[in-house]
């Protein structure tokens, strides 16, 4: 039983150590100041907000994992929100996901648009 536990731990270590991620944002026009770390960024998985807004940034997150282990939007969301905050975005829309595989490496790439509200929320 000890050998099984050791083998499992080594396999888990190899799988975790063979993961890479890259992320960035590109401004689409005038730059906006970054939002403070921990600021709320609303994610619209489908549709768009009803408040007036303008698209300000393109967001990209790229994840690779070896050992046939895949990634999902849930894995990418923290980094997607971080890039949105860095670009000054209030929310994320137009999420597009792509998956592929090279050998035993699963690749997950997500792009989205960062938006800035042009009017204050009703009641504020």
> Would you say 110 and 98 are in contact if contact means Cβ atoms under 8 Å apart?
yes
pLDDT bracket for residue 71 (50, 70, 90): confident
pLDDT on residue 53: 97
pTM: predicted TM-score of the whole model, two decimal places: 0.80
- Alpha carbon 4 to chain centroid, angstroms: 35
Q: Can you count the helices (H) and strands (E) in the chain? A: 2, 5
- 18 Cβ partners below 8 Å, 6+ apart? 65, 66, 67, 105
At 17 the pLDDT is: 47
pLDDT band of residue 2 (cuts 50, 70, 90) is: low
pLDDT of the residue at 33: 96
Helix segments in the chain, DSSP class H: 2-17, 73-87
- Answer yes or no: is pLDDT of 39 > 90: yes
* All structural domains of the chain: 19-117 (3.30.110)
Given a cut of 50, whether residue 12 has pLDDT beyond it is no
């Amino acid at each position: 039983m000890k050998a099984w536990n050791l083998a499992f731990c080594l396999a888990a270590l190899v799988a975790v150590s063979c993961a890479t991620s890259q992320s960035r944002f590109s401004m689409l026009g005038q730059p906006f100041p970054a939002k403070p770390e921990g600021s709320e960024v609303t994610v619209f998985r489908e549709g768009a907000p009803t408040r007036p807004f303008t698209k300000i940034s393109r967001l990209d997150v790229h994840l690779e994992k070896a050992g046939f282990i895949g990634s999902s939007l849930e894995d990418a969301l923290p980094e997607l929100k971080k890039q949105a905050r860095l670009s000054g975005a209030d929310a994320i829309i137009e999420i597009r996901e792509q998956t592929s595989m090279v050998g035993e490496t699963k690749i997950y790439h997500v792009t989205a648009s960062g938006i800035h509200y042009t009017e204050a929320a009703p009641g504020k």
